[in-house]
Amino acid sequence: MITTEIEINASPETVRRVLLDFPNISKWHTGFVKSITPLDTNDPLAVCKKLHCVMKDFEFESIITENSPNKFAWQGPPVMTVSGLHSFLIEPSKGNPGGTIFTQMEEYSGGISFLMQPWLLGKPIKGQFEEFNTDLKKKCEIP
């Protein structure tokens, strides 16, 4: 599993709104996430709906597994026997009233998923998550 976390000086509602505004991600993040597009216009972010995700080096379709006030998650397809459950957690900060703890993580499963640890093949992925988190923080903290 790869997990990253950042404190954002904005409300969980603000962080969630910015994160799920998929058409505008490319305006505040120029890293590995190129676009995320819901494939259904009727309740596009509902559980079991599909997303078309374009990343720096690949693209795929994922299925939304959770969409609650504190969590948005999708299951990606198997790639070389490895599947990833990608989650964004949006929780009120305990140390900074009005702020948010934003966690991004990927839980891997499959035959060679052990290779995706943050100290092995997952190292660049962790860096990409951290870059995305920093860009999200900057966007959310703009007055």
Point out the least confidently predicted range of 18-27, 32-41, 100-109, 126-135.
100-109
pTM of the model: 0.90
Pairing of strands 82-92, 33-38: unpaired
Mean pLDDT of 95-105: 97
Mean pLDDT of 105-113: 74
Q: What domain range includes position 77?
A: 2-29+68-141
The CATH number of residue 130's host domain is 3.30.530.20
- Does the pLDDT of residue 109 top 80, yes or no? no
Q: What is the mean pLDDT of the chain?
A: 90
Sequential DSSP letters for 40-106:
-SSSTTSTT-EEEEEESS-EEEEEEEEEETTEEEEEPPPBTTEEEEEEEEEEE-SSSTT-EEEEEEE
Confidence band, pLDDT 50/70/90 cuts, at residue 113: low
Q: Is 112 helix (H, G, I), strand (E, B) or coil?
A: coil
In a domain, 62, yes or no: no
